[in-house]
Structure 1
Amino acid sequence: MAQITLLRARLEDADQLTAMMKGTFDVEALHWLGSLDSHIVDYNIQPPGYDSIHTTRYMIEELTYYKIMADRQLVGGIILTLTGSRFGRIDRIFIDPSYQGQGFGSEVIRLVEREHPSVTTWDLETSPRQKGNLYFYEKMGFERTFETEDEVCYIKRIKTETTTAENEFESCNLEGATYYQANLANSAFSNSTLAGAHFSNINLSSSKFQNINFRDTLIADLNLSGSRVKHVEMSGVAFSDTTIEGAPVSFERCELMGTRFNNCKLGDVEINDCDISGMKIDGVSVEELLEVYRMVKKKG
């Protein structure tokens, strides 16, 4: 077998990694769903943004992204989310179809565990339709913890002589707990439920929220200056009584179809290189306005 190594991905690798991920997951979709446009939506087979270079760039910048190399040849990638020192999640792993079936996947899992020896709990999710994945992960020591018709959740615990640190809490029930004047700076929360939690008068500066379900959440009276919002599903979100002062807010590669701006101050707003089909201002078609403007300018 070729020598397998892991190298941290860099932004200049984004094009090649995106193309390889898309090719790999498209082959999986054809095999397990029957087509690339199947009526079945399976985000474990075709995860959100798997074909987007911008998603790849985000993952390289914000997550732990390794290139899988076989004798210096790029053959795939593996993306991890690390929580604290002992908990890790395998978000995605892909190996180019032409290199599959050679034991590369097993070696990659071993290399990841060796690269992060302090991580003693690994978890992941996969599709129950991908029978080969189920066999592979169970062969690598992962155990099923939860399954539905859409996903199977796995966990792997690595036994070590290291004792749990005093400030690490795992599989504990703290429902209904109240924290007042508590110092939880630099804490990490993963695979936990905070549904119904109430945060008030809290300093969350420099925090990270990734892969979070915020449905039906009230977010009010916040200072978000300097924050970044990436790869967020915001259908049905309403902004009211919100002020943008100082540095302007920018939207790039966003889908804002059907968005409504009512009684808002939009002075100095710029719209460049955007699809404005159907866009209206006070009921007037922007496309028609621009067409008239161009005609007048051409005659002038």
Structure 2
Amino acid sequence: MLQTTLEKATVNDAEQLTAIMKKTFDFEAEKWLSNRDIIDYNIQPPGYTSIEMTKYMIRELEYFKVMYDGLLVGGIIATISGKSYGRIDRIFIDPEHQGNGIGSTVINLIEKEFPFVRAWDLETSSRQLNNHHFYKKLGYVVTFEGEEEYCFVKHIKQSLQPDSLLTNQNLSYQQFENSDLSHSEYYQVTMEGSSVSNSNVSHIHMSNCNLSHSKFQNINYRKTMFADLNLSDSEFIYVTLSGVQFTDTNLGDIAKPLVFNRCDLTGSKLINCDLKHVEIEKSDTSGMKIDNIPVEELLQLYYQTSKN
């Protein structure tokens, strides 16, 4: 009998895993997206064709490659938050090996890999009706039905519940002052309208959260990582960006241009970037180079030629 196993992925697997992911999700798009102009990020998630995105997920998330009789046939990516909560971010099996029960085995294996997790969340496209049946068969329950996506959760029964667990409590309008909440976990908690000030929240881990319309003011974000975020139409005002790196970043589907206004970008580098239709106006470009050619010399040559 052919055996399905999980192995921790390494960056050396990135190219092969990306190729299988692309093949799988493009196969799903052919099946469920009759109009290829439709954008469905649950079928073709952001960065699914990017080897660099795969390397990021291998480094930062729980990324396992799926082995079927010793052959690499897919992958599963999970985010583990704290001690008790997990999220299946992506699962993909090469279409050539689908129908052999690999997917259901992989779900069971990832749950066994993290036996302390009491709740597993995941999302899938509303269009992928076979996924709905698949997850329900494995014990997942629908928590949200939308036009674009379905959300599922599976609660794993533990023999012993932690003494520190508070569930179904209404703590609205409470005030906590000079309190120690270190290493606490919050899952499916409503904190809308809450305020946190003059507090130590270093090393906090937030995943799959809705932070829309939030404000972050006078915050120390040194050595913080922001990854796999949607920051469309956001504003960064009076922000210090010393040493910050923007990698594998784009302007999204609407492609609204970035605007840097009154910014000091001395010594910055733009490498291997698409700069079509970029405009630079009323800016100090002294020392600036394009392909190692000084911009000042290019401008002088242009002005000299235009006068002749």
TM band (smaller chain): 0.7 to 0.9
Aligned to 1:69: 67
Equivalent-residue separation in structure 1 for 2:96 and 2:9 (angstroms): 21
Gaps of 5+ in 2: none
TM-score between both structures, scaled by the size of structure 1: 0.86
Measured against aligned partners, the alpha-carbon deviations of 1:200-245 in whole angstroms (never above 9, x if no partner) come to: 112122223333332222111111122222222222222222334x
Is the contact made by 2:42 and 2:149 (CA closer than 8 Å) also made in structure 1? yes
Change (3 A) 1:116 1:216: same
After superposition, where does 1:99-118 map in structure 2 within 5 Å?
99-118=97-116
Matched AA of 1:278: H
Equivalent-residue separation in structure 2 for 1:150 and 1:38 (angstroms): 15
Matched AA of 1:16: Q
Aligned to 1:29: 29
Change (3 A) 1:84 1:229: closer
Change (3 A) 1:14 1:176: farther
Change (3 A) 1:241 1:123: closer
Q: 1:4, CA displacement in angstroms?
A: 0.7
Q: 1:103, CA displacement in angstroms?
A: 0.8
Is the contact made by 2:140 and 2:152 (CA closer than 8 Å) also made in structure 1? yes
Q: 1:179, CA displacement in angstroms?
A: 1.9
Q: 1:20, CA displacement in angstroms?
A: 0.8
Is residue 249 from structure 1 mapped to residue 248 from structure 2 by the alignment?
A: no
Is the contact made by 1:55 and 1:231 (CA closer than 8 Å) also made in structure 2? no
Gaps of 5+ in 1: none
Identity %: 41
Q: 1:283, CA displacement in angstroms?
A: 5.3
Tell me which of 188, 195, 198 is aligned to 2:185: 188
Cα RMSD, aligned residues only: 2.7
Tell me which of 277, 295, 298 is aligned to 1:293: 298
Change (3 A) 1:147 1:181: same
Equivalent-residue separation in structure 2 for 1:27 and 1:291 (angstroms): 50
Aligned to 2:57: 59
After superposition, where does 1:98-247 map in structure 2 within 5 Å?
98-162=96-160, 164-244=161-241
Measured against aligned partners, the alpha-carbon deviations of 1:167-192 in whole angstroms (never above 9, x if no partner) come to: 23344333333221222222233433
Matched AA of 2:211: F
Is residue 261 from structure 1 mapped to residue 260 from structure 2 by the alignment?
A: yes
Query: Which consecutive segments of 4 or more residues in structure 1 shift more than 4 A?
Result: 289-292
